[in-house]
Structure formats: structure tokens, C-alpha cells
Amino acid sequence: MLWCALCLPNPCGTESLASAQHGLALWALQFTPRVTRLDEAVLMEVQASLRLFGGAVELAARVRADSPALGVVSVAWAPTALGALALARAERGEVGHACDCGGGGEVDTTPLAERLDALPFTVLTVTAPLADTLAQLGCRTLGDLRALPRGGLTRRFGPALVEALDQAYGLRSPAFSWVTLPQTFCARLDLMARVENAMALVFAAKRLLLQLQGWLVARNAGVTAFTLRWQHDGLRPQPGEEGDALVIRTAQPMRDMAHLSRLLAEQLARVQLAAPVETLILEVDSVCDYRPPTASLLPDAAEDRDALNRVLERLAARLGAQRVVRPVLREDARPEWAQQWVPVSAPMRARPVSATVRSEGLPQPTFLLPEPLRLAVRGNRPLYQGELQLLLGPHRVEGGWWHRVEVAGGAAESRQVARDYWVALSAHAGALWVFQTRVAGEDAAWFLHGVFA
């Protein structure tokens, strides 16, 4: 058995001890299902999970790195629950006795009895009310207490004291009520100080995201949408300004904290706070099953794709989803409607349109102007950076009589085209795709529409 005790300060800043413990327990559930609350601490039993997290040393390093953000003030590891708690309390130094035996968040292999014997007896919860009497008996440490006859101790102080001592030293195993995983996630954080800058909320939200990560790992899920709400301080009770919210969506189920907090930062960068913020609330809107990345030695195509998706998501968060796009082919002969750009985050159609056959054998440019550009004409020849040489053509593109769009004023305008496309050469601009068409009131006009770059 390997227990880890995570001690919270009591009283616990602005938030109540219960809510801090709840958040910490959520985070701890990612390591093991055996998590329990005891007094002011959260205890977890991790023996069965050691291999998954790369051994006791790795796990201790990870706990030490993440736990301060959740408000934990001391961490200790021991083979029994009460032993770990006693060591954690001793390390916190509240008992007024500097301790160099077993705390510090490291896993210590010294026998537990040796480490506990040296601790002051006040580290156990049951002994705290008896402190005066025990001190008058000449006890200072747990070792002194243990040296007293058990029968006498039981008669004088009741069975609870001896039982707690046995539990701490591993002679008897206590029963715990384990923390169960909630079905939904909603975490709340009262900020230490009023926050006036939206970007500063990113740092405050880190604690909530850590809890979210623990909850997701424990549920074996990844988040696809979550909401960050903030409430303004109560000093400004203006109607409609109690707070605001931000919904973050991800393309793939995600539990990587660094990525989630970067997405949050990109979105918060655009937020203007109406008033100082007092409270943050993180809610999960939807989750999906999460497939963790395969640990492979060789570079993996799927891993590459995930890395690219993550960076594209970040780009879309800053630039807007409409600006990170991929093409989709449409069945249309008119080049403007032959392709459509859709956001990368939109789901891909399983079966792509088989429009490739249509364009085969016909010249197709590689760049298309967003709008055809009217060309000047000299002596019946179109001009674009000099006179154009018409090389190949004409290729007739005609259609779209069925395509009518509403324009301003309620009238419908036809998008019918009747064009003769040519491949033209320009001395400076390379190979161009131009077309000739009739325009209202004139004979014919030339337009530049694409480039064979």
C-alpha cells in the first residue's frame, strides 16, 4: 500500500474547505479511484497505479508539480493513510517542530515506525484534545506514546487513541468512504482578488482546468465543449451585468491542459470585461470517449495529424474559423462554384464528390481570382501587363440558368454564365486563364479569371 496525503491549509483562503477538498479530490481521482477526504486533507491510495504512471518517483514528481496550483501546502507519502497524514502535517510545520523525516513530497523508504516515532504526538487528530494531559504524562512524540502500556492507555483515554495509533503504524486497517466521481463537472473558484484584466483570468482558470483534467482522466473521456463563466463583484449590481460566459469547443476530444489553456487564452484575449471579476465557474458541456495517443517509438501519422489539428485549432481561435479552411469540390462547371472552402473544424464528408472526372483533359488553373478581372482590349487583343497571346481555346463553359440569387431590393439575379475560356501567355505574368463573354450593352469583353502558376 502506498498512501499520499495532500494537506490543505485550514482555513482555506476565500473558499470553504469543503469546496477546495472537492476540487482536489476530483483532480486526485485521475491517479486512482481510491480517494478519500480526512479532516483537512485528501488521501489517495496509489499502489495499484504506480506502473501506469511510471513508478513512485515519477508519480511523486507529477503530484509535486501540479498540486500547489490546487492549494495544497504539503504532500507526504507513507504505507498507511494516517501515517501519511501525520507526516504531511508534520511537514507543514504547524505542530511547531521542524521535521526532516519523510515529508517534502518525496517517497521515503525508511521504515514507517522510525519516521513516525520522531513526530510530535499532536499530528494525530485524536491526540490533539488530549495534548495537555499527555504532555503532563511526559510524552512529546508518538514514540513516547507508543512506549506506554496499551491497556493503561485504553482505560484512561478510551479505545480510539490506541486504535488511531495502530492505524497509523499499520497494525490495523481503517475503513474509508471513497469519493465517488460526479457525473457532471462544474467547478467554482472564488478569486483571491478582483480581476480586471481578461488575460489574468487564464491564470486563475488553470486551477479549474487541472480539476477538469483529473475528472476527464477518471472518466476516460475528452472534452469537446466547455463553458467558462465569470461573475462580476457584488458591488456593482447593474442589471444584465452579473457576468458573462465563454464557450470553447474543440475539434477532437481533448484533455491536454496546455492546449485547453492556450485556446482559452486566445478567446479571452478578445474579451473586454464589463466589471472586475469575482468568481469563475467552469462547466463541461459535452464529452466524448478519449483514445489516448499510442506510445510508439516511431513517428506516427496519426500523431502528426493530431499535432496539426491542434495547431489549426489555435489558428482558428485567433483568426476566426472562417479563415482556416479546406476545399470541397462541387459538381458545377462554372469555376466559381466548382469549389467551396469550408472551415477545417467542420466534419469532413466521408465520400468526396467525384467531380474530378469532369475537369479531366481541360485546362484548369492553380489560382483563381475571387472575381473575374475585366481586361482592357487593344486591337481585339486583351491586355494584362502587356499584350496577351492566346494559345489554346476556346473552351466553352455555359450553365447556371437554374442558379438565381436574391440581390438587394428583393429582385432575383441569374448567375448564368456563357464564357469562352482561353489559355493565354503573357510576357510578364506567365500563363493566364482568360475568358471572353458578352456583357450587357456591349459586344464582348475579356476577363482574367485564373493563373497557371
Partner 1 sequence: MTSPALVSSSRLADLPPAVAASVWRGDDLAVPTGAVVSSGWAALDAELPGGGWPCGSLTEVLSPQPSLLEWRLLGQALRQVTADGGNVVLVGPPKPPFLPGLQALGLQARQLIWVQTETPAQRLWVTEQLVQADTAGAVLAWLPQARAEPLRRLQSRLQGGRTLCIALRPEGARSESSPAGLRLLAQTGPDWTLRVQVLKRRGPLHDQTLVLPSVPSSLEAVLSRRTRLPSRCLALPDGARHAVVRPVSAEPLRH
Shortest distance in whole angstroms from residue 407 CB to partner 1: 23
Q: Taking CB under 8 A as the rule, which mask of x and - marks residues 249-288 in contact with partner 1? A: ----------------------------------------
Distance of alpha carbon 258 from alpha carbon 375, whole angstroms = 52
Amino acid found at 376: A
Cβ closest to partner 1, residue 14 vs residue 364: 364
Distance of alpha carbon 360 from alpha carbon 301, whole angstroms = 31
Shortest distance in whole angstroms from residue 107 CB to partner 1: 35
Residue 310 within binding range of partner 1, rule CB under 8 A:
yes
Of the residues 390, 400, 415, 437, which one makes contact with partner 1 according to CB under 8 A: 390
Residue 323 within binding range of partner 1, rule CB under 8 A:
yes
Q: Return the range that interacts with partner 1 (CB under 8 A); candidates 206-214, 223-231, 239-247, 341-349.
A: 341-349
Shortest distance in whole angstroms from residue 399 CB to partner 1: 15
Using the 8-state DSSP alphabet, how is residue 122 labeled?
G
Cβ pair 262, 314 in contact under 8 A: yes
Q: 222 has which bridge partners?
A: 288
Give how far Cα 246 sits from Cα of 282, 286, 314, Å: 10, 14, 16
Residue 203 within binding range of partner 1, rule CB under 8 A:
no
CB atoms within 10 A of CB 120: 21
Listed residue (202, 325, 187) closest to 268, CA to CA: 202
Counting residues that bind partner 1 (by CB under 8 A) gives: 62
Collapsed DSSP state (helix, strand, coil) of residue 295: coil
Of the residues 178, 290, 384, 452, which one makes contact with partner 1 according to CB under 8 A: 452
Give how far Cα 120 sits from Cα of 98, 142, 157, 165, Å: 10, 6, 18, 13
Residue 346 within binding range of partner 1, rule CB under 8 A:
no
Distance of CA 278 to the CA centre of its chain: 22
Distance of alpha carbon 338 from alpha carbon 359, whole angstroms = 10
Shortest distance in whole angstroms from residue 365 CB to partner 1: 5
Shortest distance in whole angstroms from residue 61 CB to partner 1: 26
Cβ closest to partner 1, residue 196 vs residue 303: 303
Cβ closest to partner 1, residue 253 vs residue 393: 393
Query: Rounded to 5 degrees, what are φ and ψ at 322?
Result: -75, -5
Give how far Cα 450 sits from Cα of 113, 143, 328, 335, 433, Å: 83, 88, 18, 10, 5
Residue 370 within binding range of partner 1, rule CB under 8 A:
yes
Listed residue (376, 398, 397) closest to 388, CA to CA: 376
Cβ closest to partner 1, residue 247 vs residue 362: 362
Q: Return the range that interacts with partner 1 (CB under 8 A); candidates 152-160, 198-206, 208-216, 378-386.
A: 378-386
User: What torsion, rounded to 10 degrees, do the Cα atoms 266, 270, 274, 278 define?
Assistant: 10
Residue 324 within binding range of partner 1, rule CB under 8 A:
yes
Cβ pair 108, 90 in contact under 8 A: no
Of the residues 200, 251, 271, 312, which one makes contact with partner 1 according to CB under 8 A: 312
Cβ pair 316, 262 in contact under 8 A: no
Shortest distance in whole angstroms from residue 364 CB to partner 1: 4
In the region spanning residues 206 to 245, those forming contacts with partner 1, defined by CB under 8 A, are none
CB atoms within 10 A of CB 95: 17
Q: Taking CB under 8 A as the rule, which mask of x and - marks residues 428-447 in contact with partner 1? A: xxxx----x-----------
Q: Taken in order 170, 180, 91, 89, is the CA torsion positive or negative?
A: negative
Residue 347 within binding range of partner 1, rule CB under 8 A:
no
Cβ pair 168, 124 in contact under 8 A: yes
Q: 244 has which bridge partners?
A: 230
Of the residues 423, 434, 435, 447, which one makes contact with partner 1 according to CB under 8 A: 423
Listed residue (195, 369, 212) closest to 283, CA to CA: 212
Q: Return the range that interacts with partner 1 (CB under 8 A); candidates 12-20, 54-62, 139-147, 312-320.
A: 312-320
Q: Return the range that interacts with partner 1 (CB under 8 A); candidates 25-33, 156-164, 253-261, 319-327.
A: 319-327
Cβ closest to partner 1, residue 155 vs residue 305: 305
Of the residues 394, 398, 404, 418, which one makes contact with partner 1 according to CB under 8 A: 394
Q: Taken in order 129, 131, 136, 141, is the CA torsion positive or negative?
A: positive
Q: Taking CB under 8 A as the rule, which mask of x and - marks residues 399-418 in contact with partner 1? A: --------------------
Distance of alpha carbon 54 from alpha carbon 68, whole angstroms = 21
Of the residues 249, 259, 314, 334, which one makes contact with partner 1 according to CB under 8 A: 314
Which residues of the shown chain bind partner 1 in the complex (CB under 8 A)?
299, 301, 304-305, 307-308, 310-312, 314-315, 318-319, 323-329, 335, 338-339, 341, 344, 348, 352, 355-356, 359-370, 379-381, 389-395, 423, 425, 428-431, 436, 450-453
